[in-house]
Structure 1
Amino acid sequence: MGPELIVPPIFSPIPPAIHPRHADIDVQTAAWAETFRIGSEELRSRLVRHDIGTFCARILPEGREEVVSLLSDFVLWLFGVDDGHCEEGELGRRPGELAGLLHRLIRVAQNPEAPMLEDDPLAAGLRDLRLRVDRFGTAGQTARWVDALREYFFSVVWEAAHRRAGTVPDLNDYTLMRLYDGATSVVLPMLEMGHGYELQPHERDHTAVRAVAEMASFIITWDNDIFSYHKERSTKDYYLNALRVLEEERRLTPAEALDLAISQRDRVMRLFMKVSEQLAEQGSPQLRQYLHSLGCFIRGAQDWGISSVRYTTPDDPANMPSVFTDTPTDDSDEPLDIPSISWWWGLLPTRNATPGGRVPSQQSAQSKGLVGGR
């Protein structure tokens, strides 16, 4: 396998934070997983040791405890799907059959009363999650949660096709797939629920707001690929990871791929901070809260990534950093050479005749035909 990679301290300008009830939320999620028998007994025993409640307490450090607990149960459920069916299960190499199962689960999410998968623990858990989403969210947030779940399912079927064929996608396709198969977009409606507000469409669907959410997804998933590379590379099974994609496409060594992946995420992190600041100056208090929560999501995933046994793998320790750095390895404002996301850099004010990140008021959005984004 070659020499062991040493992951250096990663650039993070976002301060850490955690909900004071994080330990209780961890315990509650472990109990929820047992109640609904999420995954096999072996998988479940692994998942409840991964501090998922602590992770979600970092995403919503000042959020309503009931929603933090809901998010924690949901993230564990997602790992039950991803680890149990996609990564480790037979369906992970049968995209057609996987698509059928996931479509049935989507039906359960849409209509919990539908007589579908009535003896399936994942479906039972999803019914409970959906009822709680209804309790703490609006009808619009519930609909967006279901839609984002569909996006996630669609992307993991795409990944399963690569797993079956043993192929590695090119960087552009992988980047696009990773914006969704990391399940980050499914968390976004819960950021609003956690603080009891709903973004208005003229803000939520504005191009720059959608872009910063995608930037957050990119940073979170690239960081995850960096932190999980040791665990994934050590397995004898097929794995798909940003470093592997870079190794294949650019003919790089693992160390060179690590350096490039860090450079890419640093450049996106700097862009995220600039565009978020620009949006916060123009946006509503709700939008400012949403942007703050995106930052907490990024930093929470970072703190969890370097501390959870899911990635530190104590039986075969990964060379992980214990701290973060204030200095990026790449401070360029040039777009990354990845067509699916290079348009993000057009939002910088220096690249536009008018401020690209300005969020229109509802009146101006309607008069200019901007409601719903472009």
Structure 2
Amino acid sequence: MGSSQSTPSHPRLSRRISLPPPPRATSPCSGSKEGEGIKFPDLVKSIPFPLRLNPYTRFVSAESDAFIIEYAKFSEKQLTKFIGLNAGLLCGMCYAECEPEQLRVCSDFMSFLFNLDDWSDEFDTTGTKGLEEAVMNTLNHPDTYHSDSAAARTAKSWWTRMLKTVGPNCRKRFVDTLGLYFKAIMQQATDRATKTVPELEAYISLRRDTSGCKTGFALIEYAAGIDLPNEVVEHPVIQGLLDATNDSVSWANDILSYNREQSRGDTHNLVCAIMATLGLERQAAIDYAGDLCNKTVERFLEGKAALPSWGPEIDAQVQVYVQGLEDWIIANAEWSFMTERYFGKDGPKIRKSLQTTLLPVRGFD
């Protein structure tokens, strides 16, 4: 997709994106019409990357699930929901080549992040702030900070293990990006409390932080045993690749989780931002979001083709890093139909038909 700004040496790779003209606007974001059909765009067909799976996925995922269940003290309903999540499978596809020790940390964190997402959805800004303080203090002061909260105890476990091998640059990126995540979900909680639907461009920027993807991308380095120099990760082309990957993952998530989220009255979703900003009907907004999502792959491939060289040693690490981003793009698209998070047990069926029926509004469960 084209960019509204460009750099002289790397055209069309700005961190801002150009939005295509929408179809004819007809109505603002509106409520649910129970029984209405929804058609999903095919978000997998535009992705040229092979789906890979870490050979340690099955047993690491089982260990990680047991760990989270022990610490989280789920209710029966929460336990059923967690088991259906299958976060370990997503990790196995995102970090396909790492050793079991690193995969276990990644799996623990991924499950932890999904629980944070659900917890923050249920909290107001005060509750979300408490989560942030417990987790970030655990990461920033691992030797001196102590908390009995489930979030802090869980974080302390995987963080202590991660610190054994993580590089200093990766460590800082991990902590900094998780801090951005918490600030963003605080804004999300404020928007929810005030029933505010962000304007589309503002939403796109905020979503890159509420997704948690930036921290997941830092784990690519940790899992691979590399520690990229800051000047490499901060290069405009690398940043463009990160944004394209983040948008691909986040927007696919928004499109495929839209039915679930609208049934809960949750408006932090690309589809709803499009409906509110551009005045599109629901299906037109879903189609528009699908077009944006599919074009993220074009942006990624343009960036990959424009990668500069930092010398043989760093270039080899960058190649591993970019491979990790590719794994994230295809893994998320496929996993979305394998998890029960969005479609219950109907994921495989909806993967084939790409359609479902609009759920009634129930509120947060």
Given the two structures, how large is their TM-score scaled by the length of structure 1?
Answer: 0.79
The code of the aligned residue for 1:101 comes to: L
CA shift at 1:211, angstroms? 1.8
Call closer, same or farther: CA 1:13–1:323 in 2, change over 3 Å: farther
The code of the aligned residue for 1:171 comes to: L
| SS of residue in 2 equivalent to 1:5 | strand
CA shift at 1:270, angstroms? 0.4
- Does 2:275 align with 1:244? no
CA shift at 1:25, angstroms? 2.1
Give me the whole-angstrom Cα distance separating, in 2, the residues matched to 1:320 and 1:156.
Answer: 29
CA shift at 1:40, angstroms? 4.8
Alignment of 1:25-104 (within 5 A): 25-37=60-72, 40=75, 42-84=77-119, 86-87=120-121, 89=122, 91=123, 94-104=124-134
CA shift at 1:72, angstroms? 1.0
Alignment of 1:180-195 (within 5 A): 180-195=209-224
Give me the whole-angstrom Cα distance separating, in 1, the residues matched to 2:74 and 2:159.
Answer: 18
Give me the whole-angstrom Cα distance separating, in 1, the residues matched to 2:307 and 2:322.
Answer: 8
Matched-pair contact (CA < 8 Å) for 1:7–1:321: no
Unaligned runs of 5+ in 1: 325-374
CA shift at 1:114, angstroms? 2.8
Aligned residue among 166, 170, 179 for 1:137: 166
Alignment of 1:88-127 (within 5 A): 89=122, 91=123, 94-117=124-147, 119-127=148-156
Q: Which segment is superposed worse, 203-212 or 164-173?
A: 203-212
Aligned residue among 322, 330, 338 for 1:299: 330
| SS of residue in 2 equivalent to 1:17 | coil
CA shift at 1:181, angstroms? 0.4
Unaligned runs of 5+ in 2: 1-31, 355-365
Give me the whole-angstrom Cα distance separating, in 2, the residues matched to 1:198 and 1:150.
Answer: 20
Q: Which segment is superposed worse, 306-315 or 208-217?
A: 306-315
Q: Which segment is superposed worse, 51-60 or 12-21?
A: 12-21
Give me the whole-angstrom Cα distance separating, in 2, the residues matched to 1:58 and 1:322.
Answer: 21
Give the paired residue count.
316
Matched-pair contact (CA < 8 Å) for 1:280–1:288: no
CA shift at 1:96, angstroms? 4.0
2:303 match: 275
| SS of residue in 1 equivalent to 2:350 | coil
Aligned residue among 236, 258, 269 for 1:207: 236
CA shift at 1:319, angstroms? 7.1
| SS of residue in 2 equivalent to 1:311 | coil
1:284 match: 315
1:232 match: 261
Give me the whole-angstrom Cα distance separating, in 1, the residues matched to 2:167 and 2:100.
Answer: 18
The code of the aligned residue for 2:50 comes to: P
Matched-pair contact (CA < 8 Å) for 1:8–1:321: no
2:350 match: 320
CA shift at 1:166, angstroms? 1.1
Percent of residue pairs identical: 21
The code of the aligned residue for 2:225 comes to: G
The code of the aligned residue for 2:333 comes to: Q
Higher relative contact order (CA 8 A, sep 6+): 2
1:9 match: 42
The code of the aligned residue for 2:144 comes to: A
Give me the whole-angstrom Cα distance separating, in 1, the residues matched to 2:352 and 2:171.
Answer: 37
| SS of residue in 2 equivalent to 1:232 | helix
Give me the whole-angstrom Cα distance separating, in 1, the residues matched to 2:97 and 2:131.
Answer: 36
Matched-pair contact (CA < 8 Å) for 1:53–1:72: yes
2:27 match: none
CA-to-aligned-CA distance 1:313-357 (integer Å, 9 cap, x gap)? 237x79733499xxxxxxxxxxxxxxxxxxxxxxxxxxxxxxxxx
Call closer, same or farther: CA 1:99–1:248 in 2, change over 3 Å: same
Call closer, same or farther: CA 1:181–1:252 in 2, change over 3 Å: same
Superposition RMSD in Å: 2.1
1:310 match: 341
Call closer, same or farther: CA 1:290–1:122 in 2, change over 3 Å: same
Give me the whole-angstrom Cα distance separating, in 1, the residues matched to 2:293 and 2:57.
Answer: 28
CA shift at 1:38, angstroms? 5.8
Give me the whole-angstrom Cα distance separating, in 2, the residues matched to 1:82 and 1:302.
Answer: 19
Give me the whole-angstrom Cα distance separating, in 2, the residues matched to 1:69 and 1:221.
Answer: 23
- Does 2:294 align with 1:266? yes
The code of the aligned residue for 1:111 comes to: H
